[in-house]
């Protein structure tokens, strides 16, 4: 009886603590989601008397794919560039994390440098740097790499690659948090495993592939998910810009804009699912657990 | 006699040889190291890589700062690469005026500090609730929290916009503060998870002993848990502050014309520039906008965050160690 009472009290205290989130979720997430789904099937007209909704069924979604000249195009271009950007960011952040994890001096200084962009980059600042040409590595352009790619690849693929090269630094700027996550992963690897491997005569190269990489594998998944969400919710991309434009256009309005947002969300969701399915299997040998 | 010397010679030769080998080994050890990652060559490669990648990484910032000090002549002169011939402070004066710096700075502070405070407290409460108590529906709620992390704002933005409009909150910081009070708003999911991870690392016995002394859950939370959670609190506050500060998309939507934060001002810099110049410099010579003035404006916008980073750098970078966010 007493135990039951205590259990019940724990339950109630728990609810008390998470109550703010529950209210917030209902008010600022669940209700808006319902409202937004509802709107995406309507043509919404906002007048001085209030909101007027006309049911149009799946038309908004159909229009997005069939009649909108820009939406699917922007979406495809964006997905293409994300497909390139994610591996670049993951490999780069792993490289930097491996370098910083070495026993070197000025560790704090280098960490500070690689985390700096996380703090200062707002979409607007980044946009400004793009437009002033501060975002590309000057050497790349000097050696004619862009012409080389232009001449040798199909334009559907050369265009995203070139735009990535031109924005390379800013793309790398999105790796601050990922570097930290990898760093934390690396620091949790049992050092005895490294010692044992080097006594057995393993080269650094072998150690990286056989020990380091498998043991930070879970962090790769975390980072891919984080990067994907980060890139998709970043206000810099043109798809989001397009959604905002449609919000305030009289002929399309809020209804159409929300259906664009929903298509966008479904794309993110599918990509995340793919990522989890492809990288989520974690049945490999894990020295972090085996080493104790 | 003769036969006596030969083995000696041999011995000396052998000793020479081992000494030479030793020397070689030593040299090799210094250059390549014992374990492959502590030798000279390896170190040099690591430093060279770090320095060059680091330079490329901060290149846009350095470029921006260098550019922002250039006068028009320096800007057009192809021989002037990094160091301007003279520090042209006038760019900053212009940009300061165009940005209406004091006013926009105040707006930025209002729209980042207040929501950050609200978010820091509310997410702590919620994180504690999830970390320490068992109750039905908890795992579903955690799934919902992750869900809020991946759903883009654009999906809920329009209903929220209409909602805030109905309550007359547009044009004030309230659309940021009110959701933040309820553990919603910018990246709240991440903050709840940070707190959860952090509270899990604190031994339960601490609260149990306080509970035996008769303290209630609320008292335990505020008197015992919060004071020892300073690392997590600082980390969450700093990130919330920075992300609210940098927010331009919803800021320009919710705040509209009545209030403009610094990054939002940058959006309309060109337009604001021509307006400011045509109204103020009636008698004076016209100043045309150029890259340097725009970049000076960008520097001004980044500057407050750079200063903050300078002082709080340790906290930002140690977020993972301090809070164990990656977990197991």
pLDDT tens readout for residues B302-317: 889 889 988 888 887 7
* Residue of A4, A28, A189 to mutate when probing chain B, most B C-beta within 10 A: A28
Distance from CA of B65 to the nearest CA of A (A): 11
Nearest to A243 among B122, B154, B217 (CB): B154
Distance between CA A46 and CA A40 in Å, rounded? 14
The reply to whether residue B149 touches residue A229, judged by beta carbons under 8 angstroms, is: yes
The model carries a pTM of 0.83
Per-residue pLDDT, A290: 43
Give the model confidence (pLDDT) of B67-83 as tens digits. 888 777 666 666 666 77
Q: Phi, psi (5° rounding) for residue A52?
A: -115, 130
Per-residue pLDDT, B250: 83
- CB contacts < 8 Å between A and B, how many? 262
**Statement: residue B280 has pLDDT above 60:** no
3-state SS track over A151-181 = HHCCHHHHHHHHHHHHCHHHHHHCCHHHHHH
Interior CA angle at A101 toward A95 and A104, to 5°? 115
Per-residue pLDDT, A81: 84
The reply to whether residue A28 touches residue B56, judged by beta carbons under 8 angstroms, is: no
> Which residues of chain B neighbour A247 with C-beta distances below 8 Å?
158
* Residue of B37, B52, B60, B239 to mutate when probing chain A, most A C-beta within 10 A: B60
User: Which band of pLDDT confidence, cut at 50, 70 and 90, is reported for residue B20?
Assistant: low
For strands A50-55 and A42-47, give the pairing: antiparallel
DSSP labels for B26-90?
Answer: HHHHHHH-SSSSSSHHHHHHHHHHHHHHHHHHHHHHHHHHHHHT--HHHHH-TT--SS-SS--TH
Give the model confidence (pLDDT) of A172-223 as tens digits. 888 888 998 888 888 877 778 888 887 887 777 788 888 888 888 888 888 9
Distance between CA B324 and CA B328 in Å, rounded? 9
Interior CA angle at A85 toward A83 and A90, to 5°? 110
Chain A: residue whose CA lies nearest to B321 = A184
Q: Which of B229, B230, B130, B119 is nearest to B181 (CA)?
A: B119
CA distance to A117, B38, B60, B304, per residue, from A127 (Å): 14, 42, 12, 19
Provide Rg for chain A, Cα atoms.
24
Q: Higher-confidence residue: B88 or A192?
A: A192
Mean pLDDT, chain A cut into blocks of 10 residues (292 residues total):
80 91 92 89 74 79 82 86 89 90 84 86 75 67 70 74 77 86 83 81 80 85 89 79 80 83 90 85 51 37
User: Is residue A272 within 8 angstroms of chain B, CB to CB?
Assistant: yes
**Statement: residue B320 has pLDDT above 50:** yes
Chain B: residue whose CA lies nearest to A247 = B158
User: Is residue A261 within 8 angstroms of chain B, CB to CB?
Assistant: yes
Distance between CA B274 and CA B80 in Å, rounded? 27
Percent of chain B with pLDDT over 70: 79
Per-residue pLDDT, B156: 87
User: Is residue A27 within 8 angstroms of chain B, CB to CB?
Assistant: yes
Per-residue pLDDT, A291: 40
Chain B: residue whose CA lies nearest to A115 = B317
Give the model confidence (pLDDT) of B52-64 as tens digits. 888 888 888 888 8
Give the model confidence (pLDDT) of B211-245 as tens digits. 788 778 888 888 888 888 888 899 899 989 988 98
**Statement: residue B91 has pLDDT above 70:** yes
Per-residue pLDDT, B123: 94
User: Is residue A48 within 8 angstroms of chain B, CB to CB?
Assistant: no
Nearest to A132 among B138, B160, B295 (CB): B295
Per-residue pLDDT, B288: 64
**Statement: residue B295 has pLDDT above 70:** yes
Nearest to A99 among B46, B184, B221 (CB): B46
Distance between CA B263 and CA B104 in Å, rounded? 9
Distance from CA of A159 to the nearest CA of B (A): 23
Interface subset of B 92-121, CB within 8 angstroms of A: none
Per-residue pLDDT, A292: 34
Interface subset of A 85-124, CB within 8 angstroms of B: 95-96, 99-100, 102-104, 108, 110-124
User: Is residue B78 within 8 angstroms of chain A, CB to CB?
Assistant: no
Give the model confidence (pLDDT) of B116-166 as tens digits. 999 999 999 999 999 989 899 999 999 999 888 888 888 888 888 888 988
Contact between B153 and B198 (Cβ < 8 Å): no
């Amino acid at each position: 009886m007493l135990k039951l009472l205590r259990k019940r009290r724990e339950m109630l205290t728990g609810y008390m603590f998470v109550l703010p989130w529950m209210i917030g979720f209902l008010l600022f997430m669940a209700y808006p989601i319902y409202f937004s789904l509802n709107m995406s099937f309507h043509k919404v007209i906002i007048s001085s008397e209030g909101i007027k909704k006309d049911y149009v069924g799946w038309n908004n979604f159909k229009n997005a794919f069939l009649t909108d000249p820009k939406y699917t195009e922007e979406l495809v271009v964006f997905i293409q560039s994300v497909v390139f950007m994610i591996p670049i960011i993951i490999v780069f952040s792993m490289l930097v994390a491996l370098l910083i994890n070495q026993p070197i001096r000025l560790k704090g200084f280098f960490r500070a440098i690689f985390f700096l962009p996380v703090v200062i980059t707002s979409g607007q600042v980044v946009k400004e740097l793009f437009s002033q040409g501060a975002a590309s590595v000057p050497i790349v352009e000097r050696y004619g790499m862009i012409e080389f790619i232009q001449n040798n690849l199909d334009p559907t693929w050369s265009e995203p690659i070139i735009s990535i090269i031109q924005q390379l630094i800013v793309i790398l700027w999105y790796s601050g948090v990922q570097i930290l996550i990898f760093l934390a992963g690396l620091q949790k690897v049992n050092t005895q495993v490294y010692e044992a491997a080097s006594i057995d005569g393993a080269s650094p190269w072998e150690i990286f592939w056989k020990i380091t990489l498998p043991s930070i594998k879970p962090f790769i998944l975390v980072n891919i998910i984080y990067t994907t969400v980060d890139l998709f919710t970043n206000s810099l991309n043109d798809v989001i810009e397009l959604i905002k434009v449609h919000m305030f256009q009289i002929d399309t309005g809020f209804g159409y804009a929300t259906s664009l947002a929903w298509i966008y969300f479904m794309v993110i969701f599918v990509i995340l699912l793919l990522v989890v399915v492809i990288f989520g299997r974690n049945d490999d040998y894990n020295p972090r657990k085996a080493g104790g | 006699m003769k036969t006596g010397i030969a083995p000696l010679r041999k011995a000396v030769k052998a000793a020479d040889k081992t000494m030479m080998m030793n020397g070689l080994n030593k040299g090799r050890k210094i250059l390549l190291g014992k374990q492959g990652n502590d030798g000279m060559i390896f170190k040099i490669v690591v430093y060279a890589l770090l320095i060059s990648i680091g330079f490329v990484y901060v290149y846009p910032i350095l470029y921006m700062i260098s550019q922002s000090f250039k006068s028009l002549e320096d800007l057009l002169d192809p021989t002037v690469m990094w160091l301007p011939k003279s520090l042209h402070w006038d760019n900053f004066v212009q940009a300061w005026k165009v940005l209406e710096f004091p006013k926009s700075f105040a707006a930025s502070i209002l729209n980042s500090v207040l929501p950050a405070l609200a978010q820091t407290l509310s997410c702590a409460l919620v994180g504690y609730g999830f970390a320490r108590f068992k109750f039905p529906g908890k795992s579903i709620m955690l799934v919902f929290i992750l869900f809020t992390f991946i759903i883009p704002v654009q999906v809920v933005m329009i209903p929220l916009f209409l909602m805030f409009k109905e309550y007359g909150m547009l044009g004030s910081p309230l659309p940021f503060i009110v959701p933040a009070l309820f553990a919603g708003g910018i990246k709240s999911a991440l903050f709840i998870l940070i707190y959860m991870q952090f509270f899990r690392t604190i031994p339960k016995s601490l609260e149990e002993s306080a509970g035996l002394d008769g303290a209630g859950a609320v008292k335990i939370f505020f008197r015992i848990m919060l004071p020892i959670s300073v690392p997590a609190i600082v980390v969450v506050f700093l990130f919330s502050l920075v992300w609210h500060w940098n927010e331009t998309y919803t800021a320009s939507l919710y705040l509209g014309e009545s209030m403009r934060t610094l990054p939002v001002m940058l959006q309309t810099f060109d337009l604001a520039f021509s307006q400011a110049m045509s109204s103020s410099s009636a008698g004076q010579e016209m100043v045309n906008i150029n890259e340097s003035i725009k970049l000076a404006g960008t520097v001004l916008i980044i500057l407050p965050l750079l200063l903050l980073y300078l002082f709080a750098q340790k906290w930002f970078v140690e977020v993972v160690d301090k809070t164990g966010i990656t977990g197991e």
